[in-house]
Amino acid sequence: MKVTVSIDVPSIEEGLKFFGEVFGFTETARPHPGYATISSGDTTIGLLAKPAGTIPAKGSNDVRTYERHWTPVHIDFRVEDFDATLKKALDAGAKSEQVHRVSGYPPVAFCSDPFGHGFCIVGLRTLAHTGGA
């Protein structure tokens, strides 16, 4: 089985720009004008162009918004160079909401992308212990 997570974005171009600049994703297919797949390494994400204000599901009272919002599912991007990736994300319009640097654990940044979706940047390396034991 292969799983692809799809993300609603205001336009395919905006999604390509953010995820390409920050995480190195490139477009691999556009099977529909409003849907593109992007890949980086072994990871594939779908981008769905869905305008703000549209209804996400039949019968829903909710509407899509690209302001910061809560989402019950988010993506963790596990990266080799935590600080460089976090800087790229911020430069590309993401917001850093919390950064945890705890000795003995990888660093983690809780962020939101320019479309209001939460995501985490997680370093692959454990931070060195500082101090004696």
76-110 pLDDT, tens digit per residue, is 999 999 999 999 999 999 999 999 999 999 999 99
Q: Which of 42, 46, 14, 41 is nearest to 30 (CA)?
A: 46
0.85 exceeded by the pTM?
A: yes
Measured CA to CA, the distance from residue 108 to residue 10 in angstroms comes to 27
11-64 pLDDT, tens digit per residue, is 999 999 999 999 999 999 999 999 999 999 999 999 999 999 999 899 999 999
Number of Cβ atoms within 10 Å of the Cβ of 122? 17
Ordered by start, the domain boundaries in the chain are: 5-56+64-123
Residue 88 CB-half CA count within 13 A: 15
Q: What dotted CATH number matches 5-56+64-123? A: 3.10.180.10
